Structure 1
Amino acid sequence: MSQVKAVLLDIEGTVSSISFVREVLFPYTLTALPEVLAEKWDTDEFAPYRNDFPPEHRSDPADFLSHVRELTNNDVKIAYLKNLQGYLWLQAYRSGAVKAPVYPDVVKALEQWTAAGLKVYIYSSGSVLAQQLFFEHTDNAAQADLRPFLAGHFDTVNAGLKTRAESYEVIARETGHAAHQWVFLTDNVKEVEAAVAAGMHARIVVREGNAPVSDEDIARFGPVVTDFVKDDGLRRLLAMD
């Protein structure tokens, strides 16, 4: 009988295409931000996001916008940018302008895993708010809001950097599930390495458009996962057979 009690999922390149964030959400940020700055720069609503930025970049809207563009174009994973993005994406999702694409096997897996008593958590460099919006507004026709399948969310603020073993130890401690009771699925080899160092099971996920995985990394961490439902090794690890 498997000892696994919880599944930890990355988002980009794992449950959704790696291109969605870069080709849809990031451009939306840069398109929407100028109007937001013009209308809300001095408002109480925007103040928390503005004040999260370093002092040298929050003196005026033009410098703020320039800094956001630089960070976005370089895909810098820093908390104050992620929080701003979550705020901007809120309207995009709620207006219906954006729907989060989720692989069909992910939806089926969420149904199967939770029905079997497994707890499913999300761990992404995107803010918890951005994660919640993503899973609330998916393109799954049968049930767009997938949040009922999720037990919790972790990001670089409440857990730490995803390439550090200590972050996975925090997640295990905060949830009450020992490290060996977890399976982490991500497209990032360095994240797999960190999770394994913390005592978790972890597998590399390969989706269309993801970076290729070397033979050396496959030898270290096992066969890659391309489908959450059909992968026999993953099903055995989760005791789904």
Structure 2
Amino acid sequence: MAITHLLLDIEGTTCPVSFVAEVLFPYARQALGPFLQRHGAEPEVAALLREVEAAWRQDPHPEAQALGKTGDLGAYLEWLIDHDIKLTPLKDLQGRIWADGYGSG
């Protein structure tokens, strides 16, 4: 019998959903700058940052457009986190930040 589906994780099954909102998201926001300083030049992370930058140019939110005048991609990422905006490259970055945090204890 061939495997047709693979279930990796459903939010709230390995930890309470509140843990995600109260611990993981704030941790990712706080660790974002240091993570980007350490890993921003890595090809996979740099590609994600280019995707975020491209999304930023298309973002219709006035607040996001105002941030565009600063050119501060980190500030835009923080804005996305603060507004719980689901952007695939951001979610990938958050996952990498969490993995980095768990890996370093």
Partner of 1:54: 53
Q: Does 1:11 align with 2:11?
A: yes
TM-score normalised by the chain length of structure 2: 0.64
Partner of 1:79: 88
Q: Quick one: distance in 2 between partners of 1:56 and 1:18?
A: 27
Structure 1 gaps, min length 5: 1-5, 97-241
TM-score normalised by the chain length of structure 1: 0.31
Give the Å deviation of 1:57: 4.3
Is this contact kept in 2: 1:40–1:46, CA < 8 A? yes
Partner of 2:64: none
Q: Quick one: distance in 1 between partners of 2:47 and 2:99?
A: 15
Give the Å deviation of 1:52: 2.1
Q: Which has the higher strand share?
A: 1
Q: Quick one: distance in 1 between partners of 2:44 and 2:87?
A: 21
Partner of 1:42: 41
Structure 2 vs 1, CA of residues 55 and 84 (structure 1 numbering), >3 Å: closer, same or farther? same
Stretches of 4+ aligned residues off by more than 6 angstroms: none
The AA in structure 1 aligned to 2:52 is: F
Structure 2 vs 1, CA of residues 38 and 10 (structure 1 numbering), >3 Å: closer, same or farther? closer
- Count of equivalent residues: 89
Is this contact kept in 1: 2:25–2:81, CA < 8 A? yes
Structure 2 gaps, min length 5: 58-67
**Secondary structure of 1:16's partner?**
coil
1:69 to 50, 70, 78: 78
The AA in structure 1 aligned to 2:10 is: D
- Bigger RCO (CA 8 Å, 6+ sep): 2
Partner of 1:172: none
- Percent sequence identity is 34
Larger Rg computed on CA atoms: 1
